[in-house]
A and B are shown apart, each in its own frame.
Chain A
Amino acid sequence: MHTCPRCESKKAEVVSKSPVEGAWEVYMCPVCIFTWRSIEPETITNPEKYNRAFKVNPADIPNAENVPALPAKYIK
């Protein structure tokens, strides 16, 4: 498990490894779906340095607007 730089959940997992062994890994966060590569700049990979304007609070995710709107029968 890895820490998501964007929403700081601890649940991110490896989704891909470089064909050349050991070059990089790609991680994905199941909470905010953020995806990143291990060798990206620290402003992408480090939760402390990730651009604050783009941080995601997991509590906000269920309130995100549906685009396009869902037909009534799917709305609980």
Chain B
Amino acid sequence: MAYKDFRDFLATLEKEGQLLTINDEVKPEPDIAAATKAMSKLGAETPAMLFDNIYGYTDAKVAMNVMGSWPNHALMMSLPKNTPLKDQFFEFARRYDQFPMPVQREETAPFHEVEITENINLFDILPLFRLNQGDGGFYIDKACVISRDLDDPEHFGKQNVGIYRMQVKGKDRLGIQPVPQHDIAIHLRQAEERGENLPVVIALGNEPAITTAAATPLLYDQSEYEMAGAIQGEPYRIVKAKDSDLDIPWGAEVVLEGELLAGVREFEGPFGEFTGHYSGGRSMPVIKINRVYHRQNPIFEHLYIGMPWTETDYMIGINTSVPLYHQLKEAFPNEIEAVNAMYTHGLVAIISTKRRYGGFAKAVGMRALTTPHGLGYCKLVIVVDEDVDPFNLPQVMWALSTKMHPKHDAVIIPDLSVLTLDPGSSPSGITHKMVLDATTPVAPETRGHYSQPLDSPVNVEKWEQRLRELLR
């Protein structure tokens, strides 16, 4: 079942006991970021938060941690909120296979209610605030940024919907970080080679399917809107922009239309990133905003990012793991069981697999390094047996404890590529990578004493299912 818009999802979270409204007065800084970071520290099942009494504002509402837990991730897919993580993974993989789902086009949208084209001041329109103490300013970091391929503008799939960090750098001005690997950097390059500005739309406060699709590492010509439809199981609703041919999520709370300025770079950052470190002090492109629309009394959705785990890690966990799973399946369709690439966007990945013969698991680990996502991530790949749940870290630690022999099972490959944000890479973007084989040795690799593995009492799985239903 699809959520109509952001408010519809918030209503479901509230009904399911997964939304905490903070009515007490809070200061924009440091309270909202501090409360959100504190919420992340309380575990993996925390609620979203809605702040509706913010000092100095009359009617601002700020939503945080909206997808910052596994129950909220399950509800994103309209699954029961206590759906186990591994089941969420397989359900996401099943829906990923439904891609592409055609879109549904609309003529008007709720965000058309209020339109501003003169004297735009983003600092007045949005209740902006600082996230981390070293940040260079106020950021927007959970919005969908939409742009088109200028050389192939009719290609719907080459229209990109991505989430990028954006620093508010003036009343109608944003800095944006499109690193060269990002799709929007391809569009910007095309525009700059022509000497033209690149039209962009920024949509804030969306229902969660498009946010999830926008944060999924899709191929360049795959449409995030058609993936959002696949994830929610219904066509995704979009509406045209007024100043360009770009398509906008119908249910957005706030929409900014503007253009990326060709040939402009300006000092940006720093900004606390998902690696748990700041990055910045570089010169980055600038967006000029020409038109703003929003719903009456819009809800500002924002995302605290910082030392993991935060909402980001829940938002890009499963949707990073599933493409890697599919790419490994292409090579080893009968062996790959599941992939957990949730640690710092997949810098650490865990793969569970069957083994055909000795040495096979190491080959699976090496293949992960050469997948598209692996080229920038997968610094450490842990390979475990098919009956070890890669999402259950105590099980993975058990496999490492008992199955791995450091002399035989630790493989280091020197000087491979990694994302430049990896603070350990040296030079930036280059690192050694490691495969740890924590699978049971199979012939002809006969070593260790693994002939008497423990089994469970009869009917444990039936009891597990029954208990889960009783606890629902």
Contacts and interface: CB of A to CB of B under 8 A. Distances in A.
B136 A32 contact: yes
Nearest to A16: B123
B6 interface: no
A24 B281 CA distance: 27
B57 A20 contact: yes
A26 B56 CA distance: 11
B134 A54 contact: yes
B263 A70 contact: yes
Nearest to B265: A66
B444 to A, nearest CB: 49
B308 interface: no
Quick one: which of A28, A32, A73 has the most chain B CB within 10 A? A28
A2 to B, nearest CB: 15
A18 B56 contact: yes
A64 B279 CA distance: 13
Most buried by B among A28, A35, A43: A35
Contact of A74 (B180, B192, B268): B192
Nearest to B270: A54
Interface string B112-155: 00000000010110001110011011100000000000000000
A70 B265 contact: yes
Please report whether the interface of chain A is mostly helix, strand, loop or mixed according to DSSP: loop
Interface string A47-76: 000010110100011001111111101100
A33 B169 contact: yes
A1 interface: no
B123 A56 contact: no
A53 B138 CA distance: 19
A68 B123 contact: no
Contacts of A54: 134, 270
B56 A35 contact: no
Interface string A27-44: 010001111110111011
Interface stretch (B23-31, B393-401, B455-463): B23-31
A33 B136 contact: yes
B55 interface: yes
Contacts of A61: 267
Contacts of A41: 29-30
A18 B138 CA distance: 15
Interface string B180-193: 10000100110011
Contacts of A68: 178-180, 185, 188-189, 285
Contact of A34 (B57, B58, B136, B170): B136
Contact of B193 (A16, A28, A65, A71): A71
Contacts of B136: 6, 32-35
A16 B168 CA distance: 12
Nearest to B60: A19
B282 A74 contact: no
**Most chain B CB neighbours (cut-off 10 Å) among A33, A41, A60:** A33
B167 interface: yes
A64 B282 contact: yes
B171 interface: yes
Given A33-B136, A61-B267, A64-B283, A26 B57 contact: no
A44 B133 contact: yes
Contacts of A15: 121, 123, 170-171
A44 B83 CA distance: 43
Contacts of A71: 189, 192-193, 263
Contacts of A53: 134
Given A67-B284, A70-B263, 13 more contacts: A18-B56, A18-B57, A20-B56, A24-B28, A28-B169, A33-B169, A37-B129, A43-B133, A54-B270, A68-B285, A70-B192, A71-B192, A74-B192
8 contacts: A6-B136, A33-B136, A33-B167, A37-B29, A39-B27, A43-B133, A67-B177, A68-B185
Interface of A: 6, 15-16, 18-20, 23-24, 26, 28, 32-37, 39-41, 43-44, 51, 53-54, 56, 60-61, 64-71, 73-74
Interface of B: 27-30, 55-58, 60, 121, 123-124, 128-130, 133-134, 136-138, 167-171, 175, 177-180, 185, 188-189, 192-193, 195, 262-263, 265-268, 270, 281-285
The 10 closest A-B pairs by CB, nearest first: A23-B56, A18-B56, A35-B137, A16-B123, A74-B263, A64-B283, A66-B265, A19-B58, A67-B282, A54-B134
